[in-house]
Amino acid sequence: MSCGEKLAEELRRKGFRVTPQRGVILETIAHMGDHLSVQEVYSEARERLPGLNIATIYRTLESLHRAGMVDLFYPGSGPTRFTLRDPSAAHGHLVCTECEHVVDIDTDLIGRLVEEVAAETSFFIDPHHLTLLGICDACFQAGRGKRKIS
């Protein structure tokens, strides 16, 4: 059974209907990997299913989100992006404001950050939505951006 089929089954198990559109969307997401935008999935999935409408991507994504199968995150600029959720692990993103590159954050580090903030503020960071903006090492080495509080 392919990754896409497993996801389809999970979606059905959670009470959502599995249509050909959703099948193709899941298949596409499974093949494309993380940090996807709606447009990216749309372009790719429409090749497999030409009549597919972009509103369907948005609505499917909302269903997947309600089903707890994808996490959304908001890079500082540009459209919302999303990632298939691994239920067993926290997941976060470092977004470089210079090169737009997205890097995943280590699960353990997320756990520590969540605890640290919770201990001090009684605010519980969503470990599936953790997105941090800043400067990546490559951009810093290249002299773009700065690493001091100005």
Partner DNA sequence: GTCAATGCAAAACATTTGCACACGC
Partner DNA sequence: GCGTGTGCAAATGTTTTGCATTGAC
By CB under 8 A, name the binding residues for a copy of itself: 68, 72, 74, 76, 87, 90, 94, 96-97, 103, 105-106, 109, 112-113, 116-117, 120-137, 140, 147, 149-150
Task: Annotate 120-146 with b (16+ C-beta within 10 A) or e (fewer).
Answer: eeeeebebbebbeeebbeebeeeeeee
What does 39 bind: a copy of itself, DNA, none (CB cut-off 5 to 8 Å by kind)? DNA
User: What does 60 interact with, of DNA, a copy of itself, none (CB < 5 to 8 A by kind)?
Assistant: DNA
Shortest Å distance, C-beta 59 to a copy of itself: 17
Q: Nearer to DNA by C-beta: 14 or 31?
A: 14
Contact indicator for 67, 14 with CB cutoff of 8 Å: yes
Least gap, CB of 118 to a copy of itself (angstroms) = 8
Question: What separation in angstroms does the CA of 6 have from each of 10, 13, 23, 82?
Answer: 6, 10, 10, 19
- Would you state the structure tokens that stand for residue 51, as one six-digit string? 């009549």
Distances (CA, A) of 50 to 18, 24, 33, 149: 18, 11, 21, 50
Which residues from 51-80 bind DNA, rule CB under 7 A? 51-56, 58-60, 62-63, 78-80
Q: Which residues bind DNA (CB under 7 A)?
A: 12, 16-22, 37-39, 49, 51-56, 58-60, 62-63, 78-80
